[in-house]
């Protein structure tokens, strides 16, 4: 699963006033609210490690909005390992309000100009704003083509973020009295895809919005003194908000602070939600709760589903005293532990993840991915030597990492057998809503499925032979909704079904199958 990445995470915080009763704002003056932004971004660092940044607002300086963003982790960008440098940075960017962003990119370039937030300066305060964005526009190419056809427009980057900047600017330029509701209603009519937004203006107003289908997560809290929002609720919990104070922003809604007044408004109605199921399976912090569903509990139920499948069709005797369950660190651990407990088998850490190998950017070749896989995990012969290993993984994407890992478990770990259990159905289609995914031809599973909706026993056996393990078993699609405890029709499961929740997404999939478009939704000749 290390072969796919979410693209980013967003956060926002606004200190309206100082309240001694507030458990969140511990500073004596609300102008120091922005000091908490790097801490919030660290809590969602799992969503992107390529770049980070923040914009702050202060009415007491010439630059009402100031943006700081660079390539690097949150700690690197905000100099958190250097006390003096960090303090000087925080003083320069001190403000009562701030939005922030962590980024992973699909474009393969370490270019700071792509880092967010994006700021648009303007002489009129109502048109001067900065915003951060999580997601992807499935109709990006259409929007880009339309913009370039009009009035000799020019786009400097190949990114959805620049499209969003121009669309927001268009609303504000056409209507001097435009408000946040006008902006979001316009965007919802123009955009097809996933977009969780945080926006801050030079007037000191803030907006956090979630797309009409709620594909990407967004939560918020307000205690009367401090407003905060983030892609995951763990960032708000660690600020000091109580769990009961934290709410999920409903799809098609926005939270705003205008003239110091907090409000929740609906800007677009949708018949049903389409929450990305991968948030619970892999992307989100295991400590987070998204749309009132615990990530940890969802992953434990995936493990229980694996155990139920094992009991229904046993492939070997796991009660022989020589069988162990080993998770692929780290996100598979909850599922592995739950599976092992249900089967009465020890769950042990037979693979140790190297956490200090440094940041690895986008690997474009199989050789690069193989080298990364070799460096990432160390098999423990003392744990796996001579054992039958049930290896639990989140998913198999290209299979490059899994093949390398299996070889090391047999050779270095000394396992006598390895049986791979995948806590997710096979990935058969690309994502056009903000997950970096390979092309269909690069995916492992589709070439074995043919017309099958899901793999049968014979298909599982063929796949196991190709991977080089003793057996393989995926979860069926029905397990996902049961584990997350949400109706299947309120989850986006496009990457495991080929059925997309938006018209542009479904259209792009047909173009990808026809060979005209890449998995990112961009034309191959672009």
pLDDT band at 450 (very low <50, low <70, confident <90, very high): confident
User: Higher-confidence residue: 92 or 270?
Assistant: 92
Closest CA to 124 of 177, 166, 164, 162: 177
In a domain, 276, yes or no: no
**pLDDT at res. 108:** 42
In a domain, 513, yes or no: no
pLDDT band at 359 (very low <50, low <70, confident <90, very high): very low
In the predicted structure, residue 109 carries a pLDDT above the cut 70: no
User: Higher-confidence residue: 346 or 521?
Assistant: 346
Question: What average pLDDT does the segment 10-35 reach?
Answer: 72
List 8, 25, 219, 424, catalytic entry: 8
52-56, 287-291, 357-361, 429-433: which has the minimum mean pLDDT? 357-361
In a domain, 505, yes or no: no
Question: What average pLDDT does the segment 172-179 reach?
Answer: 87
Do both 193 and 239 map to the same domain? Answer: yes
**Sequence-separated (6 or more) residues with CB below 8 Å from residue 493:** 277, 477, 480, 499
Do both 128 and 259 map to the same domain? Answer: yes
d(CA 275, CA 98): 27
The number of distinct structural domains making up the chain is: 2
Q: What angle do CA 92, 94, 95 make, to 5 degrees?
A: 140
The phi, psi pair for 491, rounded to 5°, reads: -120, 140
For 132, the 3-state DSSP assignment is strand
Question: What average pLDDT does the segment 312-328 reach?
Answer: 96
Buried/exposed code over 5-26 (b: 16+ C-beta within 10 A; e: otherwise): bbbbbbbbbbbbebeeebebbe
Q: Are the C-beta atoms of residues 335 and 299 closer than 8 Å to each other?
A: yes
- Residue 111 belongs to domain spanning: 5-269
**pLDDT at res. 265:** 97
**Sequence-separated (6 or more) residues with CB below 8 Å from residue 451:** none
For 67, the 3-state DSSP assignment is strand
Q: Are the C-beta atoms of residues 21 and 84 closer than 8 Å to each other?
A: no
In a domain, 279, yes or no: no
Do both 150 and 219 map to the same domain? Answer: yes
Query: pTM of the entire structure?
Result: 0.91
Question: What average pLDDT does the segment 466-484 reach?
Answer: 97
**pLDDT at res. 191:** 97
Distance, C-alpha 84 to centroid of its chain: 32
Do both 488 and 378 map to the same domain? Answer: yes
Is 8 tagged catalytic? yes
Do both 82 and 137 map to the same domain? Answer: yes
Q: Are the C-beta atoms of residues 256 and 206 closer than 8 Å to each other?
A: yes
In a domain, 369, yes or no: yes
Residue 478 belongs to domain with CATH number: 3.40.50.2020
**pLDDT at res. 31:** 58
Do both 213 and 349 map to the same domain? Answer: no
125-139, 156-170, 486-500: which has the minimum mean pLDDT? 156-170
Q: Are the C-beta atoms of residues 329 and 351 closer than 8 Å to each other?
A: yes
In a domain, 221, yes or no: yes
Do both 302 and 265 map to the same domain? Answer: no
**pLDDT at res. 360:** 43
Do both 410 and 319 map to the same domain? Answer: yes
Question: What average pLDDT does the segment 445-452 reach?
Answer: 88
Do both 383 and 315 map to the same domain? Answer: yes
Do both 235 and 310 map to the same domain? Answer: no
In a domain, 511, yes or no: no
Do both 121 and 184 map to the same domain? Answer: yes
In the predicted structure, residue 84 carries a pLDDT above the cut 90: yes
Average pLDDT, the chain: 90
Instruction: Determine what percent of the chain is predicted with pLDDT higher than 70.
Output: 89
Cα separations in angstroms, 133 against 103, 118, 415 = 10, 9, 45
**pLDDT at res. 61:** 87
Do both 140 and 36 map to the same domain? Answer: yes
In the predicted structure, residue 144 carries a pLDDT above the cut 50: yes
**pLDDT at res. 510:** 93
The phi, psi pair for 103, rounded to 5°, reads: -130, 135
**pLDDT at res. 301:** 98
In the predicted structure, residue 104 carries a pLDDT above the cut 50: yes
Question: What average pLDDT does the segment 320-328 reach?
Answer: 97
pLDDT band at 5 (very low <50, low <70, confident <90, very high): low
User: Higher-confidence residue: 405 or 358?
Assistant: 405
146-155, 227-236, 340-349, 360-369: which has the minimum mean pLDDT? 360-369
In a domain, 299, yes or no: yes
Residue 236 belongs to domain with CATH number: 3.60.20.10
Residue 290's DSSP bridge partners are 293
């Amino acid at each position: 699963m290390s072969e796919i990445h979410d693209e980013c995470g967003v956060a926002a915080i606004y200190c309206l006033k100082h309240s001694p009763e507030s458990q969140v704002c511990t500073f004596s003056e609300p102008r120091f609210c922005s000091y908490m932004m790097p801490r919030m971004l660290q809590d969602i660092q799992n969503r992107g490690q390529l770049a980070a940044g923040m914009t702050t607002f202060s009415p007491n300086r010439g630059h009402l909005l100031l943006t700081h963003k660079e390539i690097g982790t949150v700690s690197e960008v905000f100099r958190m390992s250097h006390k003096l440098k960090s303090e000087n940075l925080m003083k320069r960017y001190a403000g009562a309000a701030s939005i922030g962003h962590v980024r992973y990119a699909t474009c393969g370039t370490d270019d700071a100009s792509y880092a967010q937030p994006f700021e648009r300066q303007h002489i009129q305060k109502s048109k001067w704003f900065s915003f951060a964005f999580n997601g992807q526009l499935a109709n990006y190419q259409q929007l880009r083509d339309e913009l370039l056809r009009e009035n000799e427009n020019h786009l400097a980057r190949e990114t959805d973020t620049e499209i969003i900047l121009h669309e927001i600017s268009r609303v504000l330029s056409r209507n001097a009295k435009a408000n946040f509701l006008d902006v979001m209603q316009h965007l919802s009519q123009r955009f097809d895809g996933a977009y969780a937004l945080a926006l801050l203006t030079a007037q000191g107003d803030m907006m956090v919005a979630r797309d009409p289908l709620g594909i990407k997560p967004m939560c918020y809290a307000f205690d009367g003194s401090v407003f905060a929002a983030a892609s995951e609720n763990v960032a708000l919990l660690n600020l000091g908000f109580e769990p009961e104070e934290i709410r999920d922003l409903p799809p098609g809604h926005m939270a705003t602070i205008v003239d110091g007044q907090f409000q929740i408004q609906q800007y677009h109605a949708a018949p049903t939600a389409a929450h990305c199921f991968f948030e619970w399976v892999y992307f989100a912090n295991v400590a987070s709760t998204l749309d009132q569903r615990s990530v940890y509990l969802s992953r434990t139920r995936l493990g229980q589903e694996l155990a139920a499948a094992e009991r229904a069709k046993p492939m070997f005797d796991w009660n022989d005293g020589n069988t162990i369950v080993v998770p692929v660190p780290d996100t598979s651990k909850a599922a592995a532990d739950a599976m092992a407990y249900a089967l009465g088998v020890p769950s042990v850490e037979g693979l140790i993840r190297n956490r200090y190998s440094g940041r690895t950017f986008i690997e474009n070749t199989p050789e690069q991915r193989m080298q990364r896989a070799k460096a990432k995990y160390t098999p423990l012969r003392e744990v796996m030597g001579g054992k039958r290993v049930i290896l639990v993984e989140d998913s198999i994407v290209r299979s490059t990492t899994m093949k390398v890992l299996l070889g090391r478990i047999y050779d270095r770990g000394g396992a006598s057998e390895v049986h791979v259990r995948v806590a997710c159905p096979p990935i058969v289609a690309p994502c056009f809503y903000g997950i970096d995914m390979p092309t269909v031809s690069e995916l492992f599973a589709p070439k074995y499925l043919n017309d099958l909706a899901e793999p049968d026993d014979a298909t599982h056996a063929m796949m196991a032979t190709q991977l080089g393990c003793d057996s393989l078993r995926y979860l069926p699609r029905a397990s996902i909704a049961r584990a997350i405890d949400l109706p299947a029709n309120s989850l986006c499961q496009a990457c495991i079904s080929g059925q997309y929740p938006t018209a542009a997404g479904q259209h792009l999939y047909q173009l990808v199958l026809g060979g005209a478009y890449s998995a990112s939704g961009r034309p191959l000749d672009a």
